[in-house]
């Protein structure tokens, strides 16, 4: 007797729009062809949790161990079974090991023809900005039984999702300007008035001079570019520091792929050199992923659930205006950040470099995501001037030449409880309200950071520098306090944290002006490190007050060496031969 064929289950059901999956039409393309039906593509299907995270978990009040998280908030087994059955019926292969422990992402691979039938989409190849992209438009339609069990399907469309938030200083025609113009995301700006090493920036903000972060791992999320050992060795030798241990982790096919100074290498090197220089002794783990919504979510989730390197801080310098994301992708990425908060991991994110418009040409205000996630520390930018080792002026970064700190009010995420007394302006769309940024630091290319990229020393600014700066500060705090700070936003918005910040009250980013207290340009302000480290100490009692001290004297004492590193001059410090450790790349199951 011939074996009985199973009756169609999912193909017989009505199709329903996956909420938040609508993708706007791509820009008109010179070349447009149907995606080859036999080409194989891997997509991410993200299923619901066993149980939602409680507010106490996502705000960091009650941390979960990894075992607790997996037991209660991993993937719903019923949802996993449904997706496996759906995949089998449509001829899709579930990647072994997915979903990985603690993860909710199932990787499904199949032909374009099978994926189009399974998800009710049409896939095209379009030439967008000189790059051939696989594009879908409109929504994803699933069998009705999967709605509620599946929360996102990512990877059908592989258009670039995000931009790095760095700016290169240099006059038109200069080497720095030419390298910037060779890229679509790093534009040249006026020559730097003065530049600093990251160490000097740390000194001005009062970072502890003798502290290390030797037991801390800082994760960096990168969606392109790469680093070279020779550059890291030379840079830290010029600082008189031992080079950090740098580990490259491959996520979803992303790799450490250094190119030239006119690409994303500037972002990668800025992140590594700033974070490692201000947090000496830390291990730097760089998660390389493709620049797609799928790759972005995979990279963050890989870092959050990494049981090998266990980062205590994650720094992200990439993003895009909320208007340029699908709701499902934002929700999936925010959920990964929520998981980080529950596990006691801090995520620092650049707020963007295009002022209150965030680069959207519709004459409206926009904020950058993932900086607008209510589960991250959003980092804005300032112009920082100093003399004799002390800060003399700090204002909102706005160079009137297209570069300004991102900031404003989310139109997607509601105002969180810890921000309700911060006088955040009203959103322009419901259910928004979350104010951006939370904190700030030096970002203006005119007072930028001297960074080595692909054999060149150039001055780089942008809020991309602020995210790793804060990541380094928190790594120092974690080492000094003996426990990771975790999600710090509720703590720093409390009244007792006010002495931990230098309030920025001058300048604007377009639509928003700086003022006393929190504002949509620089948040609560830039750090006064000794007080900040005390405030974020999880072991401190609820009544403990920040350490009081004369920051000027402390900063001046630590800055007895030359404060400014003018472009073209030798960076300060004794020359000690550092070492760089590159461990084998590791492919994380999604």
pLDDT at 128 (0 to 100): 85
Of 124, 94, 91, 120, nearest in space to 18 by CA: 120
- In this predicted model, what pLDDT tens digit does every residue of 150-174 receive, in sequence order? 999 999 999 999 999 999 986 333 3
Average pLDDT of the chain to the nearest whole number: 89
389 torsion bin: left (phi>0), alpha (psi -120 to 50), beta (else): left
What percentage of the chain has pLDDT greater than the value 90? 81
Residue 179 pLDDT class (50, 70, 90 cuts): very low
Whether 497 contacts 546, CB under 8 Å: yes
Least confidently predicted of 87-96, 113-122, 398-407, 558-567: 558-567
Distance CA 463, CA 359 (A): 14
pLDDT at 246 (0 to 100): 97
pLDDT at 191 (0 to 100): 56
pLDDT at 80 (0 to 100): 98
- In this predicted model, what pLDDT tens digit does every residue of 488-518 receive, in sequence order? 999 999 999 999 999 999 999 999 999 999 9
pLDDT at 185 (0 to 100): 43
Positions marked active-site: 267, 271, 464
| List of residues 6+ apart from 542 with CB closer than 8 A | none
What percentage of the chain has pLDDT greater than the value 70? 86
pLDDT surpasses 70 at 549: no
Whether 90 contacts 113, CB under 8 Å: no
* pTM: predicted TM-score of the whole model, two decimal places: 0.89
Cβ burial 167-203 (10 Å sphere, 16+ → b, else e):
bbbbeeebebbebbbebebbbbbbbbbbbbbbbbbbb
pLDDT surpasses 90 at 468: yes
Distance CA 283, CA 310 (A): 10
Of 290, 374, 293, 291, nearest in space to 335 by CA: 374
- In this predicted model, what pLDDT tens digit does every residue of 191-236 receive, in sequence order? 568 899 999 999 999 999 999 999 999 999 999 999 999 999 999 9
Domains and CATH numbers, the chain: 15-154 (no CATH), 163-558 (3.40.50.200)
Whether 460 contacts 567, CB under 8 Å: no
pLDDT at 125 (0 to 100): 95
Question: What are the Cα distances from residue 73, in Å, to 42, 83, 343, 364?
Answer: 25, 18, 11, 38
pLDDT at 29 (0 to 100): 78
Distance CA 590, CA 588 (A): 6
- In this predicted model, what pLDDT tens digit does every residue of 325-337 receive, in sequence order? 999 999 999 999 9
pLDDT surpasses 70 at 447: yes
- In this predicted model, what pLDDT tens digit does every residue of 124-160 receive, in sequence order? 999 987 888 999 999 999 999 999 999 999 999 999 9
- In this predicted model, what pLDDT tens digit does every residue of 263-320 receive, in sequence order? 899 999 999 999 999 999 999 999 999 999 999 999 999 999 999 999 999 999 999 9
DSSP state of 35: P
- In this predicted model, what pLDDT tens digit does every residue of 520-536 receive, in sequence order? 999 999 999 999 999 99
Distance CA 492, CA 500 (A): 8
Whether 89 contacts 146, CB under 8 Å: no
pLDDT at 401 (0 to 100): 76
pLDDT surpasses 70 at 384: yes
Residue whose entry in the numeric block shows the structure tokens 């019923």: 78
* DSSP codes of every residue in 442-478: E--GGG-EEEEETTEEEEEESGGGHHHHHHHHHHHHH
pLDDT at 8 (0 to 100): 86
- In this predicted model, what pLDDT tens digit does every residue of 2-36 receive, in sequence order? 555 567 899 999 999 999 999 988 878 778 899 99
Q: What is the mean pLDDT of residues 182-199?
A: 65
Tokens of 451: 């960074």
pLDDT surpasses 70 at 560: no
Which residues partner with 124 through β-bridges? 34, 135
pLDDT at 6 (0 to 100): 60
pLDDT at 192 (0 to 100): 60
Distance CA 378, CA 336 (A): 16
DSSP state of 402: S
φ, ψ (nearest 5 deg) of residue 217:
-115, 125
Q: H or E element: which one contains 157?
A: none
Which residues partner with 321 through β-bridges? 368
């Amino acid at each position: 007797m011939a074996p009985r064929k199973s009756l169609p289950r999912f193909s017989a059901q009505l199709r329903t729009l996956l909420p938040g999956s609508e993708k706007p039409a791509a820009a008109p393309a010179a070349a447009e062809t149907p995606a080859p039906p036999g080409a194989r593509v891997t997509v991410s299907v993200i299923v619901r949790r066993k149980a939602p995270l409680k507010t106490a978990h996502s705000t960091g009040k009650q941390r979960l161990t990894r075992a607790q998280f997996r037991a209660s908030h991993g993937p719903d087994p019923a949802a996993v079974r449904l997706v496996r059955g759906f995949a089998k019926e449509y001829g899709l292969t579930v990647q072994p090991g997915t979903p990985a422990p603690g993860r909710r992402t199932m990787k499904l691979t199949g032909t374009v023809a099978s994926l189009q039938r399974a998800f009710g989409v049409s896939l095209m190849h379009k030439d967008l900005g000189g790059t051939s992209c696989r594009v879908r438009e409109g929504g994803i339609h699933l069998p009705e039984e999967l709605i509620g069990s599946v929360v996102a399907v990512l990877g059908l469309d592989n258009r670039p999702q995000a931009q790095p938030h760095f700016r290169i200083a240099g006059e038109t025609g200069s080497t720095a300007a030419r390298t910037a113009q060779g890229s679509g995301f790093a534009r040249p700006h006026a020559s730097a008035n003065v530049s600093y090493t990251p160490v000097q920036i740390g000194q001005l903000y009062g970072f502890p001079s003798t502290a290390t972060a030797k037991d801390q791992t800082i994760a960096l999320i990168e969606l392109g570019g790469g680093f070279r050992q020779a550059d890291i060795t030379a840079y830290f030798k010029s600082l008189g520091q031992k080079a950090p241990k740098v580990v490259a982790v491959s996520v979803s096919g992303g790799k450490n792929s250094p190119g030239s100074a006119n690409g994303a290498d500037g972002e990668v090197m800025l992140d590594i050199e700033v974070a490692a220089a201000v947090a000496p002794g830390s291990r730097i783990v760089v998660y390389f992923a493709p620049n797609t919504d799928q790759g972005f979510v995979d990279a963050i989730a890989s870092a959050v659930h990494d049981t090998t390197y266990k980062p205590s801080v994650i720094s992200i310098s990439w993003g895009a205006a909320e208007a340029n994301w699908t709701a499902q992708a934002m929700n999936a990425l925010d959920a990964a950040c929520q998981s980080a908060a529950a596990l006691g991991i801090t995520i620092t994110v650049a707020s963007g470099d295009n002022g209150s418009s965030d680069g959207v040409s519709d004459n409206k205000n926009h904020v950058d995501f993932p900086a607008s996630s209510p589960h991250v520390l959003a980092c804005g930018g300032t112009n920082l001037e100093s003399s004799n080792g002390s800060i003399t002026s700090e204002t909102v970064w706005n160079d009137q030449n297209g570069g300004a700190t991102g900031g404003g009010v989310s139109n997607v995420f509601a105002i969180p409880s810890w921000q309700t007394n911060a006088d955040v302006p009203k959103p322009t769309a419901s259910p928004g309200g979350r104010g951006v940024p939370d904190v700030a630091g030096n970002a203006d290319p005119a007072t930028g950071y001297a960074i080595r990229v692909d054999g060149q020393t150039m001055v780089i600014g942008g809020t991309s520098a602020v995210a790793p700066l804060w990541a380094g500060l928190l790594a120092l705090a974690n080492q000094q306090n003996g426990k990771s700070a975790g999600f710090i936003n509720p703590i720093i918005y409390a009244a007792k944290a006010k002495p931990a910040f230098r309030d920025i009250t001058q300048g604007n980013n377009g639509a928003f002006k700086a003022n006393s207290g929190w504002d949509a340009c620089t948040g609560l302000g830039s750090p006064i490190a000794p007080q900040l480290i005390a405030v974020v100490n999880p072991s401190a009692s609820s009544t403990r007050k920040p350490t009081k001290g004369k920051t000027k004297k402390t900063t001046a004492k630590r800055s007895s060496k030359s404060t400014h590193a003018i472009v073209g001059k030798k960076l300060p410090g004794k020359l000690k031969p550092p070492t760089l450790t590159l461990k084998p790349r590791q492919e994380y199951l999604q």
